Amino acid sequence: MTKSLVFDKNWKRSCHNIQYFTNQIQMEGRKAKYYKTLSFKYDFVFDNDTVQFCYAYPYTYDNFNNFIKELDNSKVLSPR
């Protein structure tokens, strides 16, 4: 059952019902330290599609270079 929708390959926030909490599983050898749980729901659109999940938005080398160029071209002068 493939839907006839067109999607691009950009990163999107598509999950819902996102939860992040301390669970009840204690870390071995560490008093009062517990593991965390991240859970979310995602509705798949296409059969046999490849979907990647990330914890934070990707920050590419190109993003970094563009940010540095913006700083370099900035009219703001730092105090001396």
Tens digit of pLDDT for each residue in 46-58? 888 888 888 777 7
pLDDT band at 12 (very low <50, low <70, confident <90, very high): confident
At residue 80, the pLDDT reads 57
Would you kindly state where each structural domain of the chain is located, as residue ranges? 16-73
Q: Is 79 exposed, middle or buried (0-12, 13-18, 19+ CB in 10 A)?
A: exposed
Please say if the pLDDT value at position 1 is more than 60. no
| Centroid of chain to Cα 38 | 12
Please say if the pLDDT value at position 13 is more than 90. no
Better-scored residue on pLDDT, 45 or 23:
23
Asked if residue 35 lies in contact with residue 27, where contact means CB atoms within 8 angstroms, the answer is yes
